[in-house]
Amino acid sequence: MKTYSKTEFRERLEMKLTNKRNTTLEDTTDTDLFYAICSILKDEINQASVETKKTNIDRKKRQINYLSMEFLIGRLIESNLLNAGLLDVCNEVLTELGRDPKKVYSEENDAGLGNGGLGRLAACFLDSIASLGYLGNGFGIRYRYGLFEQRIVNGTQIELPDNWLQEVYPWETRKIDEAMHVNFGGEVSSEVDEHGNFKFTYHNQETVLAVPYDVGVVGYDNDVVNQLRLWSAELPSDVIDHGNYKNRLEHMQNVERISGFLYPDDSTEEGRFLRLKQQYFLVSSTIQTLIKQFKEKYNLPVTQFHEYHCIQINDTHPTFGIPELMRILMDEEGLGWNEAWSIVTKTFAYTNHTIMQEALEKWPVSQVQKVNPRIFMIINEINERFCREVYEKHPEMRDKIADLAVISNNVVHMSKLAIVGSFSVNGVAALHSEIIKDHTFNDFYRIQPEKFNNKTNGITHRRWLMTANPGLTHLINDAIGDVWHKSPQELTQLMRYYNDESFLNHLADVKLENKRVLKEVIYKKTGIEVDENSVFDVQVKRLHEYKRQLLNILHIIYLYNEIKRKPSIRIQPRTFIFGAKAAPSYHIAKEIIKLIHAVGNVVNNDKDVDNRIKVVFLENYNVTLAEDIMPAAEISEQISTASMEASGTGNMKMMMNGAVTLGTMDGANVEIAELVGKENIFIFGLSSEEVINYQNNGGYQAEAIYQTDGRVKGAMDALKNEQFGRDFAFNNLYYHVLTNNDPYFLLKDFNAYVDIHLTAMATYQDKKKWNQMSLMNILKSGQFSSDRTIQQYATDIWKLV
């Protein structure tokens, strides 16, 4: 891409302001500047994209297609500027113009097309695929409304629509000429043609137009631009609706709902059905496109499709891609079952992101039939053939066939379909991949062990360090140069500074400065004043019982009661920072949010506490907010019940920014611990084996611990005895934990958690030691760059090299 001097960039900016925004530099707003900068970038991106496409066709390389119902891309302006090599010049020009670059960039709305880690991972992966120069595109849905905007009113979560498309979204290009037709519902009839082959005809289907919007994905300093293609649902213009205008409007609205919301409320039957339609909408439009482009570009028979395309499905949500590709290959391309199946099973690879039972999708047969009866027929046949194969080839597994079946009890098991139809099944951290093999999918592992592998997650260090934390980036650049920008593992060179007092002090200064920035954000958002010299202890992630925000708050209650008991007690001042959205119909999660606020209200205003503990909940946690939080974190709370967090990626983001993890041996924490060494992390609690053992034996005696352990009882009783206000929610949480025998082992791990906090705070008193721990975390974090992860996917699964 073109490099600009300051003068050239400024001239270009002036030109864009005049031509696109009808204004001048003297008289411009931040909004004008934002769009003008985007326009400069977009020219560069489009140019590079054309060239990337051309080289790729010429080179005839295999392409990875990453299918995901979520892409949590956040703002793109800074990362696009960085990757295009224009961030410094743009910052300088804006500063010279007397503008605050951060304010200009904040004109962009977060594209919140995702829920949590899974969606953010997809975004990091796209960044790494392009930055490593691979040919790979993302495919998702252009939800009109992203994940809801969270407001907190009197401590209660309120959900508002996330109207991220209210302003023009500068990065997308609508490609109506590449729209696809996706057919839903109707009936299928079959007949035998003159060669004795079945021919299927579809009737009375509802056709929806899938319109692509392409967003360029800019590689770092390599002129590569891949695409993220987001599909939007529209009513085809040739649908007449009997000339009735009202009918047509209603019809239009119905169709547009398919790409209306991210995760429409799945607490209702209607919401669930819509979600299923969304899944089919995504895969059908995408796979039709891939086949069409393959035929047009390469002029080769479709039997070679898998040589040029690999499809990675991000969790089970895009699993209908498997029967959809079968359908296209058989019904439209005329291949027989075996030929089609051989292509499909060389094309698809599946990543599992959770073992939580509620997230392993199961769809009633009736609903799948309703979405597309032909797709159901194909799934049915896949199932029958698979069960027969197990029966014949694995006599030892005959009694397991009912468990292995893709369809059982009138339900389609999406993870089983994904495993059967894919050549690779991977977990997202070493421990998780082992659990999948040993427990979750053990029966499948026994018959197809070669499919199973691990790819530990990663995060893009470009966004999570280079743009989010410029202070630390400069410090590192001054110390070891910029080799780590392209080879993040080179961060280990920082080891040279492990005993360098001056470097360690600088590191501490950078952290303090980042804490000041966050302090301002906290004040603006909540009105709470926090002390930048207190320890910033951070837990930011989706709200879920297994992530145990409740354990965190119970510990805060314990600390508070200790202070009340003995106000002169010496404790290290701390600011506990939370950020979390609860799924709209997840009542317990919402009650936990309420409790955090209630505890905060009391603790923050109690004179006895005297500002030694503050509790802060930052509403509407999203990518942009995370970019302010990660650089300021000192303690990274990763306290899930062992075995339940597949990997976690917030743990990696905080580690990379110098926070020390305080967590369980779960997910990628295990690998963090291995890398930094036990002395640079605070580990507590049950191991995953212990948890699984308890689970297999009906749990542990929660009530007994509660009755006999004073610390546990004290914290729990605070919920019941109205210490933090009279609210049904707190009572409910108390009974919820005890009457369900504490399935997330809160009480079992409580004491270990209290103790590890004591150890951590004792360690914090030794500033040099703490800074060394922080440095050790940073310098080892290159291993968790998504560049490493993508390199492994590309080599082991996608075979792009």
Site of interaction with ligand GL5 (CB under 6 A): 115-118, 121, 353-354, 359, 428, 457, 645-649, 667
Of residues 647 and 772, the one with the C-beta less far from ligand GL5: 647
Of residues 371 and 459, the one with the C-beta less far from ligand GL5: 459
Catalytic option among 354, 649, 661, 664:
649
H/E/C letters for each residue in 224-246? CEEEEEEEEEECCCCCCHHHCHH
17: how many CB neighbours lie within 10 A of its CB?
Answer: 22
Least separation in angstroms between residue 368's CB and ligand GL5 is: 21
Catalytic option among 327, 544, 597, 653:
653
Residue reference for tokens 């310098």: 779
Of residues 457 and 575, the one with the C-beta less far from ligand GL5: 457
How far is the CA of 598 from the CAs of 474, 604, 747, in angstroms?
A: 40, 10, 21
Distance CA 408, CA 390 (A): 15
The amino acid that residue 800 corresponds to is L
Distance CA 283, CA 732 (A): 42
Least separation in angstroms between residue 470's CB and ligand GL5 is: 26
Of residues 211 and 543, the one with the C-beta less far from ligand GL5: 543
Residue reference for tokens 């079968």: 326
* Strand bridging mode 411-413 / 535-540: unpaired
Distance CA 375, CA 287 (A): 14
Least separation in angstroms between residue 126's CB and ligand GL5 is: 14
Catalytic option among 353, 555, 597, 614:
353
Of residues 117 and 140, the one with the C-beta less far from ligand GL5: 117
The tokens for 687 are: 């191991």
Catalytic option among 16, 547, 597, 612:
547
Least separation in angstroms between residue 651's CB and ligand GL5 is: 9
Distance CA 559, CA 612 (A): 10
Which DSSP state fits 788? H
Three-class secondary structure of residue 60 per DSSP = coil
Least separation in angstroms between residue 728's CB and ligand GL5 is: 29
Least separation in angstroms between residue 353's CB and ligand GL5 is: 4
Distance CA 307, CA 310 (A): 8
Least separation in angstroms between residue 543's CB and ligand GL5 is: 12
Whether 780 and 675 have beta carbons less than 8 Å apart is answered as yes
Least separation in angstroms between residue 593's CB and ligand GL5 is: 18
Residue 489 burial by CB count (10 A; 0-12/13-18/19+): exposed, middle or buried?
A: middle
Of residues 105 and 363, the one with the C-beta less far from ligand GL5: 363
H/E element holding 116?
none
CA dihedral (780, 785, 787, 788) in degrees, to 10, reads 50
Of residues 510 and 652, the one with the C-beta less far from ligand GL5: 652
Residue 189 burial by CB count (10 A; 0-12/13-18/19+): exposed, middle or buried?
A: exposed
Least separation in angstroms between residue 263's CB and ligand GL5 is: 11
Least separation in angstroms between residue 172's CB and ligand GL5 is: 24
Of residues 419 and 652, the one with the C-beta less far from ligand GL5: 652
Of residues 354 and 539, the one with the C-beta less far from ligand GL5: 354
Least separation in angstroms between residue 459's CB and ligand GL5 is: 10
50: how many CB neighbours lie within 10 A of its CB?
Answer: 11
**Angle ∠(344,346,352) on CA atoms, nearest 5:** 90
Distance CA 469, CA 786 (A): 17
Catalytic option among 541, 548, 614, 788:
541
Residue 710 burial by CB count (10 A; 0-12/13-18/19+): exposed, middle or buried?
A: exposed
| Those residues with Cβ within 8 angstroms of residue 774's Cβ, 6 or more apart along the chain or in another chain | 507, 511, 634, 658, 659, 660
When CB distances to ligand GL5 are compared, the closest residue is 117
Distance CA 460, CA 466 (A): 9
Of residues 171 and 441, the one with the C-beta less far from ligand GL5: 441
Please indicate whether residue 525 is annotated as part of the active site.
no
Please indicate whether residue 795 is annotated as part of the active site.
no
Distance CA 433, CA 451 (A): 12
Long-range contacts of 726-733 (CB under 8 A, 24+ apart): 727/594, 727/598, 729/590, 729/591, 729/594, 729/595, 730/591, 730/594, 730/595, 730/598, 732/588, 732/591, 733/550, 733/588, 733/591, 733/592, 733/595
Of residues 119 and 216, the one with the C-beta less far from ligand GL5: 119
What are the two backbone dihedrals, phi and then psi, of residue 517, each rounded to the nearest 5 degrees? -60, -45
Distance CA 460, CA 623 (A): 13
Please indicate whether residue 649 is annotated as part of the active site.
yes
Distance CA 238, CA 240 (A): 6
Of residues 69 and 530, the one with the C-beta less far from ligand GL5: 69
DSSP conformation letters of 341-356 = HHHHHHHEEEE-----
Residue 649 burial by CB count (10 A; 0-12/13-18/19+): exposed, middle or buried?
A: buried
On the CB side of 644, how many CA atoms lie within 13 Å of its CA?
A: 23
Least separation in angstroms between residue 507's CB and ligand GL5 is: 27
Please indicate whether residue 393 is annotated as part of the active site.
no
Just list the catalytic residues: 353, 541-542, 547, 649, 653
